[in-house]
Amino acid sequence: MKINFGKYRNTNLVVGKNEKMRPTTAIAKKIIFNTLKIREDDLVIDLFAGTGALGFEAWSLGAKKIIWIDNNLKSYQAIKKNISDLKLSKNDYQVFHTDFRRALKKIPFAATIIFLDPPFISEKYYDLSLKIINEHNLLSDQGVIILEKPSTYNLNNLKLYNIFINKKVGVNQEIFFLRKK
């Protein structure tokens, strides 16, 4: 797996072995990062980070701070190894190796970008994540949530947000770009 955009384009990333992990496809990454405009003051949360690739892409494009959250040990170790290899400053990141509910309650700021991509087998985590983000005001007023999900999932808590872009990826995946109501 490689970083595809920005200053560190074509840099290889270490990937942890995790059978539940489903890395974001190259096509989906292209849709996401051609739609988003990363700014130097962006505060990013990569929730259910897996490989951490979306956070590393945002960092490579100049985001100010990245928070990676994943409770899988192998994913956590791979993210930490990539941080070390890429020599990120301690001020540029935080990594939580814990349940997402616990980690979200510890975040001290409202993010400008939240990548939300739980394992597809965990349908309930989509709605629960959207609810917690809303309840704890973790999305800034101008912030955006990028939600990747199977097209078969109907999420009740999407109604908490304004959908401003909905893209199909292949036959069974969607990417939503969400803003606060």
Strand partners, 118: none
Q: How far apart are CA 74 and CA 165, in angstroms?
A: 33
Q: How far apart are CA 67 and CA 103, in angstroms?
A: 10
Classify 164 as helix, strand or coil: strand
The pLDDT score that the predictor gives to residue 49 is 93
Amino acid 62 reads G
User: Which segments of the chain have a pLDDT < 50?
Assistant: none
Q: How far apart are CA 133 and CA 111, in angstroms?
A: 10
Number of neighbours of residue 7 by Cβ within 10 angstroms: 10
User: If DSSP states are collapsed to H, E and C, what string results for 88-143?
Assistant: CCHHHEEEECCCHHHHHCCCCCCEEEEEECCCCCCHHHHHHHHHHHHHCCCEEEEE
The pLDDT score that the predictor gives to residue 100 is 95
Q: What architecture is the 26-180 domain classified under in CATH? A: 3-Layer(aba) Sandwich (3.40)
Q: What is the pTM of this model?
A: 0.93
Residues 95-145 have pLDDT tens digits of 999 999 999 999 989 999 999 988 767 788 999 999 999 999 999 999 999
Do strands 173-180 and 139-150 pair parallel, antiparallel, or not at all (unpaired)? antiparallel
Classify 81 as helix, strand or coil: helix
The pLDDT score that the predictor gives to residue 18 is 62
Residue 97's nearest CA partner among 4, 16, 10 is: 16
